[in-house]
Amino acid sequence: MKLYQSDASPNSRRVRIFLAEKGISMPLVPVDLAAREQFSDAYAAVNPRRVVPTLVLDDGSAIGEVPAILRYIEEIHPEPPLLGVTAKTKAQVAMWERRAEMEGFASVMEAVRNAAPRLQNRAIAGPHDYEQIPALVDLSRKRVGNFYADFDTRLAEVRYVAGDAFSVADITAVVTVDFATKAAGLPIPEQHAALRRWYDSVSARVSMSA
Amino acid sequence: MKLYQSDASPNSRRVRIFLAEKGISMPLVPVDLAAREQFSDAYAAVNPRRVVPTLVLDDGSAIGEVPAILRYIEEIHPEPPLLGVTAKTKAQVAMWERRAEMEGFASVMEAVRNAAPRLQNRAIAGPHDYEQIPALVDLSRKRVGNFYADFDTRLAEVRYVAGDAFSVADITAVVTVDFATKAAGLPIPEQHAALRRWYDSVSARVSMSA
């Protein structure tokens, strides 16, 4: 089993943190995004979507899409559980991880990809070219603001994003905050004290340097 | 347990088909989207995101987000399995269901919501208002075309979207095709024979009328 990934890719970081929380290591195969290595024939043979990360199993099967990769890892290394334990907590973790991704992570990604001059015609990652839409940048930044406000409300009520236990929902939310801060100039606004308290506590975990 | 849903909502239909495949029935509580019932105080108390569907458990917990709802149902009613069986098939189903949703379903939704006059300022479902961006309509329609082409290639190689077995990935893909056809005027292009063969076979299942 090996993970094709990039140190510069926030989606790859979601997987690296997950592995670190599990105490698992596996070979990491670097894909140089700056050199457009994901568009090479060699990488297209690994993942025809030409995105990172990709988990390649010992039988050669390739698993793309971060939640699918994390589901595989959780199945083969259940401890410590990061996707919930009971039917109810599995569903709550799935709900909150997805909300962190769709409302937070995806909004930051859209803001960044529609603004960066080097990504002209590459507004969406993958095998197809899509032109940038400048109006999407403002809309996406507004969505990041709403993500921050909504998760601040949530984290005033619960310790972790999905409830009582640390989970993959926290990983996605921390990666989102760091990505928004560094790539979009959108740090946590000062008034969101609950979100900040959660972030300071969770981002201090050893796994977060992965 | 009960499901708040709308007959007019393609996201609700994903859950209804899933339940029908499992042979499960549960009380369906209608939410009248045309009358904006999702914005009522009563529904906001059920799901603060103000979207359908929402699964409410017997203890009162609310589960939103379709994949989270389906995960819960699969956990409590494992047969027949629709999310995979082994670690590997669980990951493959998760990957393909997500691709059907992100590349297909989400593209149709974006094309529809950015075009409909009645959805001005409601370009994204949820508690926050977002203005429509006309340029997104063309881009989203192009994405639907690429989804059709890529899934045609896939279905020339395998019987079902995720491989050998019918799964939730087929459900999401069928709902996407029907949604694209009816709401966006984008039926399967004639040249995609493999996709059409798959669609004709899968959409004939009894569950699909749910």
Is A92–B130 a contact, with Cβ atoms under 8 angstroms apart?
no
pLDDT recorded at residue B194: 98
Contact status, residue A181 vs residue A196, Cβ threshold 8 Å: no
Q: Give the span between the Cα atoms of B18 and B175, in whole angstroms.
A: 11
Q: Do A143 and B128 touch (CB under 8 A)?
A: yes
Q: Of the candidates B15, B58, B53, B29, which has an alpha carbon nearest to the alpha carbon of residue A88?
A: B58
Mean pLDDT in residue range A94-116: 98
Q: Which CATH architecture has domain B87-209?
A: Up-down Bundle (1.20)
Strand A2-5 with A54-56, pairing: antiparallel
CA distance B107 to B47: 24
CA distance B202 to B173: 10
pLDDT at A36: 92
Q: Which residues of B touch A57 (CB under 8 A)?
A: 88
Taking only the tens of pLDDT, chain B with its 210 residues reads 999 999 999 999 999 999 999 999 999 999 999 999 999 999 999 999 999 999 999 999 999 999 999 999 999 999 999 999 999 999 999 999 999 999 999 999 999 999 999 999 999 999 999 999 999 999 999 999 999 999 999 999 999 999 999 999 999 999 999 999 999 999 999 999 999 999 999 999 999 999
Token pair listed for A35:
């050199």
Q: How confident is the model at residue A200 (pLDDT cuts 50, 70, 90)?
A: very high
Beta-bridged to residue B3, according to DSSP, are: B28, B55
The answer to whether the CB atoms of B135 and A135 lie below 8 A apart is yes
What are the residue ranges of CATH 1.20.1050.10 in chain B?
Answer: 87-209
Contacts 24+ apart (CB under 8 A), A12-16: A12/A52, A12/A53, A13/A175, A13/A210, A14/A66, A14/A70, A14/A171, A14/A172, A14/A175, A15/A53, A15/A55, A15/A66, A15/A69, A15/A70, A15/A73, A16/A210
Chain A CA closest to residue B107: A124
Range list for CATH 3.40.30.10 in chain B: 2-76
Predicted ipTM of the assembly? 0.97
Is A68 in contact with B94 (CB distance < 8 Å)? Answer: yes
Q: What's the confidence (pLDDT) of residue B167?
A: 98
What is the spatial distance between Cα A40 and Cα B139, in angstroms, rounded to a whole number? 25
- Tell if the CB–CB gap between B68 and A92 is shorter than 8 Å: yes
Q: A2-76 falls under which CATH superfamily?
A: Glutaredoxin (3.40.30.10)
Rounded CA-CA distance B158/B24 in Å is: 28
Could you report the per-residue pLDDT of B138-179, keeping only the tens digit for each?
999 999 999 999 999 999 999 999 999 999 999 999 999 999
Chain A residues with CB within 8 Å of chain B CB = 49, 55, 57, 59, 61, 63-65, 67-69, 71-72, 75-76, 87-88, 90-92, 94-95, 98-99, 103, 123-124, 126-128, 130-131, 133, 135-136, 139, 142-143, 146, 150
Please report which residue ranges of A78-159 form alpha helices under DSSP H.
87-99, 106-113, 134-155
What is the reported pTM?
Answer: 0.97
**What is the percent of chain A with per-residue pLDDT over 70, rounded to a whole number?**
100
**Helix (H) or strand (E) segment spanning residue A44:** helix A41-46
Other Cβ atoms closer than 10 A to A147: 26
Closest chain B residue to A136, measured at CA: B133
- Give the Cα separation of B193 and B187 in Å (integer): 13
pLDDT digits (tens, 9 = 90+) for A110-127: 999 999 999 999 999 999
Q: Where are the beta strands (DSSP E) in chain A?
A: 2-5, 28-30, 54-56, 62-63
CB atoms B135 and A139 under 8 Å:
no
CB count in 10 Å sphere of residue A34: 8
Amino acid letter for position B12: S
Q: What is the pLDDT of residue A20?
A: 98
Is the CB of residue A132 less than 8 Å from the CB of residue A113? yes
Instruction: Note the pLDDT of residue B43.
Output: 97
Structure tokens at B32: 């009248």
Q: What percent of chain A has pLDDT over 90?
A: 100
Q: Do B65 and A95 touch (CB under 8 A)?
A: yes
Look up residue A16 and give its DSSP letter.
H
Question: What's the whole-number mean pLDDT along residues A24-52?
Answer: 95
Residue A136 is predicted with a pLDDT of 97
